[in-house]
Amino acid sequence: MASEKTACILCSRNCGLTVELDNGKFVKIQGDDQHPITKGYICQKAARLEYYQNHDDRLGQPLKRQADGSFAPISWDLALQEIAEKLNHVKQSYTGNAFAFVGGGGQGNHWGGMYSRQLLSAMNSRFIYTALAQEKTGDIWVNGRLFGNQTCHTTEDIEHADYVLFIGTNPFQAHGIVNSRDTLKALQKDPNRTMVVIDPRVSETAKMADIHLQLKPSTDAYLMLAMLAIIVREGRHDKGFLTIHCTGFDSIEKELLEIDIEDYAQRADVPLELVQKVARGFATAKNACVRVDLGTQHSLHTTLNAYLEKLLYLVTGNFAKKGGNNLHTSMIPLVSHTDERKKGIRTAKHKMFPIGGLYPPNILPDEINHSGEDRIRAVWVDSANPVLTYADSKAYTTAFQQLDLLVVVDVAMTETARLAHYILPAASQYEKVEASGFNLEFPENLFHLRHPLFPPFKEALPEPEIYTRLLEKMGILPTTFPVLTKIAALEPKITARLGYMAALKILFSRKPNLQKYGSSILYRTLGTTLPKNMEAAAPLLGLTLSYTHKYYEAVKKVVYKGNKRTLGNELFNAILANKSGVIISKHKFEDIWTFLKTPDKRIHLEIPEMISELRQLATEDLTNPDFPFILMAGERRSYNANQIYRDVAWRKTDPKGVMRMHPEDAQELDIANGDEVICQSNIGRITVFVEIDKSVRRKMVSLPNGYGSRFRNGEAIGPQLNMITPSSHCETFTKTPFHKYLPVKITKLIET
């Protein structure tokens, strides 16, 4: 039995794990005490990872769709040759606009993304559609305006905050913060600290809170505006901070002074005294921070919510300080910056622009069905299951059936894979070099490169090999780089690597087009000098050199060896050697001001689009008599996760994914606990089982995400939420779906 180090891949925390392996299986999974951030912490979900690693839907060989709709095995060589020819045909016949890439990552598999994105360049396409763009682009866009660039991202220092606002988030179940349950318990126990939860449901976190504001679904914007108005009207804003570090406060102040606080508290259905208490407590706390999640991001006013939660900590000066909200550095940037005013970046049908470089999945079916010559004709799906996890499953199914080419790269036979022309089996996250790009910590940041624990399943290949071979087949990449390979192999390693990077630079200056395929070139050349099975880690050298160049002093504090020339290589070695992950930098709080990308290094508070939207709130009317209930879709529970668990046996509780309903609503509709009911939106209906539960508000129901897979091509088990989520039910600006505010009708299922 072997003992190894790795990480959990079920949520963005990627807790460190110590695992025992036997005969290709996980036999014991525990927290890794050596992990620099999680230090042994895990939740109950990690213990079930064997259900991800070994199950009957694993793909073990490339498959090609036959004329009768069935799949037949095909060799890797032939599959990639045929796909390469078809992709080249699409590119030559219709330009890059005809190609879209979907997915390319997940909660813990970002390393493959370094390789897969090269395909977009090879296809001259910019169209990448990812889950981030159905959740976080409102936040990303606001960051771009406030801090000068969409790559700026804030984190929250909950462990050191005296006052914490959790808005639309249930970290006890959804995690997303450092060692969530321990952090929440510490907050709860300390009489000098205050935990406030703003959530329509009495969630597990709300039960631990000092104050719970159980607002009506999707009224967060009203509540936050009421709080901001109270703070400003009572002069509790941080005038010194605003004068020195921000511009545009005068315009914000003017708007806030106009807010009818009482009316807004009433719209949120929260007692005014409680709103005042929280606003005052937050503004006067020594350190305070705000944590939000999908509850505000999948709600009405997605982008405005992002703006307002940031104003809460900025107006009170809780930024760039211990216990506040802070910008942080990143080793792998997950998003880029895009200016929506740039020409030539909009989609054909919706004329949608990218945010952070990403396009929203809500519009993809329309971009495929579009009648124009500039429609999307070929789609490449990697590590994603859009048919099940993006809004409007039927629209996705119909659109994907229209495509000239659909290729799916995945570890499992998913609902999307069943529609593909070619299915390429990927090695699981424990069968290859992997890493998470969610290194979002401050002041100490971490990077965890995970080593393979098992050989790839049957003929499955890691993404670095799949994409490199494909680029070679497409004629984009030469198959050898003899000079680079020779220099990389020279001894001693450190000078050889520096010589290698210099030679690579020369190659890129001579052939600039090759720069876009740097990951594969590093893999094929420098990779040959790395330990066996670690070849795909080669692009890390480029990342560590760039990171140490940008943050030399901060890296120097944790990696003691090395000077300005060599520190990047030392960091590379440290990451490669340490299987539990390493701290890569240690910053000072004042460094945060250097992370700002605004030309004047100040935060630009005035965003005209947001001010215009907040003015419209006063007249909004949300009543909808045809669909009297609001479904909050995607509740996080003890045994739901992202869609990578396909075998329902992984769940210890809630096998059916029940719908929570308030007892009085159930009584009114003559529904008993455990009854099967129809949950119907304006595009479809699903049947679900009811759990009567007074944790939800009246006229609100709640369903979990992560259900509805058809394991072994059988019946879907649990709610297939996206059968009832219309893609048009989204924010006009970002196209983010309103999954937390879906008007539905509930009727008892009558057996006939």
Which of 4, 5, 13, 117 touches ligand SF4 by CB under 6 A? 13
37 is a site residue for ligand SF4 (CB under 6 A): no
Cβ nearer to ligand SF4, comparing 145 with 175:
175
Stretch that binds ligand SF4, among 10-18, 305-313, 347-355, 685-693 (CB under 6 A): 10-18
Measured CA to CA, the distance from residue 60 to residue 47 in angstroms comes to 24
15 is a site residue for ligand SF4 (CB under 6 A): yes
Beta carbons of 96 and 125 less than 8 angstroms apart: yes
Measured CA to CA, the distance from residue 641 to residue 617 in angstroms comes to 34
311 is a site residue for ligand SF4 (CB under 6 A): no
Stretch that binds ligand SF4, among 13-21, 129-137, 650-658, 676-684 (CB under 6 A): 13-21
Stretch that binds ligand SF4, among 39-47, 145-153, 307-315, 730-738 (CB under 6 A): 39-47
Within residues 452-491, the interface with ligand SF4 by CB under 6 A covers: none
Q: How far is CA 741 from CA 141, 488, 521, 632, in A?
A: 22, 55, 46, 6
Measured CA to CA, the distance from residue 50 to residue 709 in angstroms comes to 18
Measured CA to CA, the distance from residue 237 to residue 230 in angstroms comes to 10
What single-letter amino acid sits at 289?
C
Question: Cis peptide leading into 492, omega within 30 of 0?
Answer: yes
Measured CA to CA, the distance from residue 25 to residue 21 in angstroms comes to 6
Nearest to 442 by CA among 294, 589, 309: 589
Cβ nearer to ligand SF4, comparing 638 with 728:
638
3-state helix, strand, coil in the chain (%, to 5): 40, 20, 45
252 is a site residue for ligand SF4 (CB under 6 A): no
Question: Cis peptide leading into 443, omega within 30 of 0?
Answer: yes
Q: 242 phi and psi, to 5 degrees?
A: -65, -40
Measured CA to CA, the distance from residue 646 to residue 48 in angstroms comes to 12
Stretch that binds ligand SF4, among 4-12, 288-296, 369-377, 427-435 (CB under 6 A): 4-12
Cβ nearer to ligand SF4, comparing 45 with 473:
45
644 is a site residue for ligand SF4 (CB under 6 A): no
11 is a site residue for ligand SF4 (CB under 6 A): yes
Q: How many CA atoms lie within 13 A of 620 on its CB side?
A: 17
Provide, rounded to whole angstroms, the least separation between the CB of residue 28 and ligand SF4.
15
Cβ nearer to ligand SF4, comparing 307 with 447:
447
46 is a site residue for ligand SF4 (CB under 6 A): yes
Provide, rounded to whole angstroms, the least separation between the CB of residue 447 and ligand SF4.
16
Cβ nearer to ligand SF4, comparing 15 with 320:
15
Q: 157 phi and psi, to 5 degrees?
A: -95, 70
8 is a site residue for ligand SF4 (CB under 6 A): yes
Provide, rounded to whole angstroms, the least separation between the CB of residue 45 and ligand SF4.
4
Cβ nearer to ligand SF4, comparing 13 with 153:
13
Nearest to 187 by CA among 205, 201, 174: 205
Stretch that binds ligand SF4, among 6-14, 137-145, 190-198, 363-371 (CB under 6 A): 6-14
Q: Which residue has the tokens 């550095």?
A: 329
Beta carbons of 583 and 558 less than 8 angstroms apart: yes
Cβ nearer to ligand SF4, comparing 11 with 427:
11
Instruction: Give the pairing of strands 99-103 and 378-382.
Output: parallel
* H/E element, 607: none
Cβ nearer to ligand SF4, comparing 9 with 521:
9
Stretch that binds ligand SF4, among 42-50, 55-63, 281-289, 688-696 (CB under 6 A): 42-50
Site string for ligand SF4, 181-220 (x = CB under 6 A): ----------------------------------------
Measured CA to CA, the distance from residue 20 to residue 5 in angstroms comes to 9
Provide, rounded to whole angstroms, the least separation between the CB of residue 599 and ligand SF4.
38
Provide, rounded to whole angstroms, the least separation between the CB of residue 8 and ligand SF4.
3
How many residues of this chain interact with ligand SF4, rule: CB under 6 A?
11
Provide, rounded to whole angstroms, the least separation between the CB of residue 176 and ligand SF4.
8
Cβ nearer to ligand SF4, comparing 6 with 150:
6
Stretch that binds ligand SF4, among 41-49, 77-85, 422-430, 577-585 (CB under 6 A): 41-49
Which of 43, 223, 265, 567 touches ligand SF4 by CB under 6 A? 43
Where do runs of H (alpha helix) occur along 20-129? 50-53, 76-94, 111-122
Cβ nearer to ligand SF4, comparing 7 with 405:
7
* H/E element, 434: strand 434-435
Beta carbons of 407 and 83 less than 8 angstroms apart: yes
Site string for ligand SF4, 148-187 (x = CB under 6 A): ---------------------------x------------
Provide, rounded to whole angstroms, the least separation between the CB of residue 4 and ligand SF4.
16
19 is a site residue for ligand SF4 (CB under 6 A): no
Q: What spatial distance separates the first Cα and last Cα of the chain, rounded to whole Å?
A: 55
Cβ nearer to ligand SF4, comparing 30 with 398:
30
Q: Which DSSP symbol is given to 60?
A: -
Provide, rounded to whole angstroms, the least separation between the CB of residue 451 and ligand SF4.
18
What single-letter amino acid sits at 394?
K
Provide, rounded to whole angstroms, the least separation between the CB of residue 205 and ligand SF4.
14
Cβ nearer to ligand SF4, comparing 43 with 417:
43
Q: Kindly tell me the number of DSSP H helices and DSSP E strands found in the chain.
A: 27, 28
Stretch that binds ligand SF4, among 3-11, 317-325, 375-383, 643-651 (CB under 6 A): 3-11
Specify which residues 678 forms β-bridges with: 687, 747
Which of 45, 301, 524, 651 touches ligand SF4 by CB under 6 A? 45
Provide, rounded to whole angstroms, the least separation between the CB of residue 308 and ligand SF4.
28
Directed axis angle between helix 220-233 and helix 272-284, to 10°? Answer: 60
DSSP codes, 660-714:
EE-HHHHHHTT--TT-EEEEE-SS-EEEEEEEE-TTSPTTEEEEESS----GGG-
What's the sign of the alpha-carbon dihedral 241, 247, 250, 256? Answer: negative
Nearest to 743 by CA among 723, 729, 728: 729
- Residues lying near ligand SF4 in the complex (CB under 6 A) are found at 8, 10-11, 13-15, 42-43, 45-46, 175
